[in-house]
Amino acid sequence: MADQLNADILYTIVDEAPELASASFLPIIRKFVSAADITVGTPDISLAGRIIATFPENLTDEQRQSDDLAALGELVKTPGANVIKLPNISASVPQLVAAVTELQEKGYNIPSYPEEPSTDEEKAIRARFDAIKGSAVNPVLREGNSDRRAAKAVKNYAQNNPHSMGAWESTSKTKVSSMPGNDFYANEVSATISADQAGDAKIEFVAKDGSVTVLKDGWPLEEGTVADATFMSAKALGAFLAGAIEDTKADGTMFSLHMKATMMKVSDPIIFGHAVKAWLAPVFEKFGVELDALGVNPNSGMGDLLDRVADNADIMAAIEAVTADRPAMYMVDSDKGITNLHVPSDVIIDASMPAVIRAGGKGWDAAGNKGDTNCVIPDRCYATIYDESINFFKANGALDVTTAGSVANVGLMAQKAEEYGSHPTTFEAPADGTIRIVTANGETLHSHDVETGDIWRSCTAKKAPIENWIELAMDRQRLTGSEAIFWLDANRAHDAQLIAYVKPALEAAGVADKFQIMAPREATAQSLKTITAGNDSIAITGNVLRDYLTDLFPILELGTSAKMLSIVKLMKGGGLFETGAGGSAPKHVQQLVEENHLRWDSMGEFCALGESLNFLADSKGNAKAGVLGVAAEAATQGILDDNRSPSRKVGQPDNRDSHYWFARYWAEALAAQSDDADLAAEFAPVAKALADGEEAILAELAAAQGPAADIAGYYRPSVELKAKVMRPSATLNAIIG
Ligand SMILES: NC(=O)C1=CN([C@@H]2O[C@H](COP(=O)(O)OP(=O)(O)OC[C@H]3O[C@@H](n4cnc5c(N)ncnc54)[C@H](OP(=O)(O)O)[C@@H]3O)[C@@H](O)[C@H]2O)C=CC1
Ligand SMILES: O=C(O)CCC(=O)C(=O)O
Ligand SMILES: [Mg+2]
């Protein structure tokens, strides 16, 4: 890895669809940039790679691999970082277990995931797995704030080639349901750490008998950190979920739960588990002991539960009886019977809610019928943005993609800001009592009375990232002149603390009149109005809304968030270029394996590559990198202009075809430019060979599609087979080498 880290550009090895795409695209990148002596390192941050790096002790030398994520995590704190970061799996427990099983089958002597660790050894193994679980990569690499937007060319393309949008009826019964109170929103308190309070804090649980358990010790809170505490009442959640199920039935719609069990890896699987228990309440009441004995953990979902109880006819019959009495369920895969509650990571709110909204408020039920759905989002902190969007489209009809403007995002993300950094400070209350934060000087910063099972958490946002975020917002507003809104709710404790940073900073810079501050609901309505009128808006948000909005608006405006420019301006001066704003598209892998068609759109990679090369030119004074970067931008434009992006259906051009075209346009742009004669001379014959070979290459790529493709694995496919499947054109391979 040491050599890898010294490379000019680091292009991450990840999972699923983007990793399949890399098997085709990376050889092209390497060939082109080597002409400027630019090196490309490939640190492995895949789920399988991270598991292997975590458990070296029982592996052979050949199997072992370095902890690339840890190394990258350090690199992003240096000015030289230039990382192209593709989306990776944030694993739920079922995914983690499946990945371990696959590695074991491949001869890796990795311990099994201890579901219920009892011995010290099991607890230690479990702790190591817990560090791999959920969103364990992005928070480590994101040492900067987020600038996500659609490049002009991408936006123009979408306006001229509108994607399909479901119609919105004013009579739609689709709605968002949230708890009326006693949720994270209601119980939040927040404070900004003073000089006196700064230092190592602790979090304590005080039982009814006065005994104190330290939940977290040596927890550094720097001066200026905004530190919140809040909890969700388990009783209130249970009652709400039971009510929402009944309400869905009365409405005649589908029940759907939308969580972020991956990034909120401690709290949201618990909330998900409450929903599984609420759905199967009579089964849990009657068979609690048996379910326990079978190792059922509702937080792992109904899929895991069904596997464990499959041989118990009584429980299966009880489940069937309950299901018959329940409302329709929103399905992940109707054909395969995968429900919304099967796996906690199947329905991820940032992708799932926009899909419902784009479809005109529709989901799919078990029989494959389209219908309205009750979108259950228990906590109210951010649910209002979806509620307001639904209200807006019910009133105004679907967005007109051909004329709509764009909502860009500037997101507070650096150094594990806000909820997405809260896993180490999230706890399920062990009993009735009090949970409190005690600062270094002995003061009680926050204190909550809790009941058994309540989900308590503290979130923090540090001063330097907050200030950097406000600067970034001012930069983007100045460069665009767009409407700019801080999505902050003055009535929410945390947001009020942020507003106390934002207002004076804007005033000091003399730009307060260029910005508005609005609660998320009002900001949603305003932004939708703005883009409906064909204008642009910048949403300046915290970390969760950064995540939600950079799927919501792109999916409405562009049909996908895959085409987003996603830049993380690292606070220490480096550049992290994320590819797109979406995920790793598991469904795409399934299609490739079944019919050798990869519909993954590499537009995010194309945009990131151009940015990374231009950044290299600036940061290292590498003029050739700049020439390559400008040519890569021309190639990206060519893909859009000539409609070379992948199609969804087998038999039509796919991801590999788009890479051929990218290489061709890139070579043509390099051959045509006059800034660097050497590069022009080197790429003229490449451009000619790619043009001359067009017919053969496209025929060879097309011929590969149709039959099943074997890549020998899911989490750790064979490198050789992947290359074989993803590079089926001998003519193209001969040119790329
Ligand atoms: N930055 C990161 O590392 C991120 C990682 N993730 C991880 O990704 C996995 C899947 O997450 P999920 O929420 O389902 O979201 P995804 O974004 O992976 O998938 C949602 C859908 O979006 C479409 N899509 C996304 N990217 C592309 C692309 N490049 N080209 C074409 N279509 C695209 C696909 O739609 P269609 O099926 O219609 O083709 C896909 O099924 C999880 O493990 C999650 O943790 C999620 C978000 C960000
Ligand atoms: O890290 C993850 O799990 C997902 C990240 C994500 O969805 C985003 O940043 O948009
Ligand atoms: Mg996201």
How do residues 571-617 score in pLDDT, each as one tens digit? Answer: 999 999 999 999 999 999 999 999 999 999 999 999 999 999 999 99
Q: What share of the chain in percent tops pLDDT 90? A: 99
Is the shortest distance between the CB of 221 and ligand 1 below 6 Å? Answer: no
Q: Is 308 annotated as contributing to ligand binding?
A: no
Boundary residue ending a domain (567, 592, 627)? 567
Closest CA to 453 of 431, 424, 422, 425: 431
pLDDT of amino acid 615: 97
**Does residue 67 form part of some domain?**
yes
Residue 538 and residue 411 share a domain: yes
CA separation for the pair 469, 492 (Å, rounded): 19
- CA–centroid distance, 350 to ligand 1, in Å, is 10
Provide the number of structural domains found in the chain.
Answer: 4
- Contact at 8 Å (CB) between 385 and 244? no
- CA–centroid distance, 87 to ligand 1, in Å, is 8
Q: In the chain, what is the greatest distance between 2 CA atoms, to the nearest angstrom?
A: 82
CA separation for the pair 242, 284 (Å, rounded): 13
**Does residue 148 form part of some domain?**
no
Closest CA to 198 of 445, 532, 489: 445
pLDDT of amino acid 3: 66
pLDDT of amino acid 5: 83
Q: Is 135 annotated as contributing to ligand binding?
A: yes
Boundary residue ending a domain (550, 567, 584)? 567
- CA–centroid distance, 124 to ligand 3, in Å, is 31
Judge whether residue 411 has pLDDT over 90.
yes
Quickly state the pLDDT bin for 4 (edges 50, 70, 90). confident
Is the shortest distance between the CB of 87 and ligand 1 below 6 Å? Answer: yes
Judge whether residue 482 has pLDDT over 70.
yes
Residue 517 and residue 413 share a domain: yes
Is the shortest distance between the CB of 560 and ligand 1 below 6 Å? Answer: yes
ipTM of the complex: 0.98
pLDDT of amino acid 584: 97
**Does residue 424 form part of some domain?**
no
DSSP lists the bridge partners of residue 150 as none
Q: Is 138 annotated as contributing to ligand binding?
A: yes
Residue 719 and residue 585 share a domain: yes
**What's the chain's average pLDDT?**
97
Residue 634 and residue 621 share a domain: yes
Is the shortest distance between the CB of 22 and ligand 1 below 6 Å? Answer: no
For tokens 């003519």, name the residue.
Answer: 731
pLDDT digits (tens, 9 = 90+) for 701-716: 999 999 999 999 999 9
Residue 314 and residue 206 share a domain: no
CA separation for the pair 552, 560 (Å, rounded): 9
Quickly state the pLDDT bin for 1 (edges 50, 70, 90). low
**Does residue 365 form part of some domain?**
yes
Q: What share of the chain in percent tops pLDDT 70? A: 100
Residue 724 and residue 688 share a domain: yes
Task: Pick the atom of ligand 2 nearest to 146's CA.
Answer: 9
Nearest ligand, measured from the Cα of 88 = 1
Q: Is 109 annotated as contributing to ligand binding?
A: no
Judge whether residue 291 has pLDDT over 70.
yes
Q: Is 137 annotated as contributing to ligand binding?
A: yes
Residue 193 and residue 318 share a domain: no
- Contact at 8 Å (CB) between 606 and 564? no
Mean local confidence (pLDDT), 166-173: 96
- CA–centroid distance, 263 to ligand 2, in Å, is 7
Q: Choose one of 46, 135, 578 to mutate for the ligand 2 pocket test, by most ligand atoms within 8 angstroms of C-beta.
A: 135
Residue 627 and residue 515 share a domain: no
Torsion sign over Cα 370, 374, 378, 383: positive
- CA–centroid distance, 660 to ligand 1, in Å, is 23
**Does residue 396 form part of some domain?**
no
- CA–centroid distance, 580 to ligand 1, in Å, is 9
CA separation for the pair 550, 547 (Å, rounded): 6
Task: State the first-to-last Cα distance of the chain, in angstroms, to the nearest integer.
Answer: 24
Is the shortest distance between the CB of 199 and ligand 1 below 6 Å? Answer: no
Is the shortest distance between the CB of 89 and ligand 1 below 6 Å? Answer: yes
Residue 531 and residue 556 share a domain: yes
- CA–centroid distance, 263 to ligand 3, in Å, is 9
Residue 602 and residue 627 share a domain: yes
Mean local confidence (pLDDT), 7-17: 98
Q: Whose CA is closest to atom 8 on ligand 2?
A: 547
pLDDT of amino acid 669: 98
Judge whether residue 24 has pLDDT over 80.
yes
Residue 442 and residue 346 share a domain: no
Nearest ligand, measured from the Cα of 139 = 2
Mean local confidence (pLDDT), 274-291: 98
Q: Is 601 annotated as contributing to ligand binding?
A: yes
Mean local confidence (pLDDT), 139-162: 96
Judge whether residue 631 has pLDDT over 60.
yes
Q: Is 214 annotated as contributing to ligand binding?
A: no
The conformation of residue 91, written as its DSSP 8-state character, comes to B
pLDDT of amino acid 315: 98
Range of the domain at 451: 188-232+431-459
**Does residue 157 form part of some domain?**
no
pLDDT digits (tens, 9 = 90+) for 215-272: 999 999 999 999 999 999 999 999 999 999 999 999 999 999 999 999 999 999 999 9
Residue 580 and residue 561 share a domain: no
Task: Pick the atom of ligand 1 nearest to 346's CA.
Answer: 14
Judge whether residue 48 has pLDDT over 60.
yes
Is the shortest distance between the CB of 351 and ligand 1 below 6 Å? Answer: yes
The conformation of residue 450, written as its DSSP 8-state character, comes to E
- CA–centroid distance, 562 to ligand 1, in Å, is 8
Q: Choose one of 560, 594, 655 to mutate for the ligand 1 pocket test, by most ligand atoms within 8 angstroms of C-beta.
A: 560
Q: Is 141 annotated as contributing to ligand binding?
A: yes
pLDDT digits (tens, 9 = 90+) for 435-479: 999 999 999 999 999 999 999 999 999 999 999 999 999 999 999
SS3 at position 328:
strand
CA separation for the pair 132, 126 (Å, rounded): 10
**Does residue 154 form part of some domain?**
no
Closest CA to 721 of 706, 709, 711: 711
pLDDT of amino acid 14: 98
Judge whether residue 2 has pLDDT over 60.
no
**Does residue 393 form part of some domain?**
no
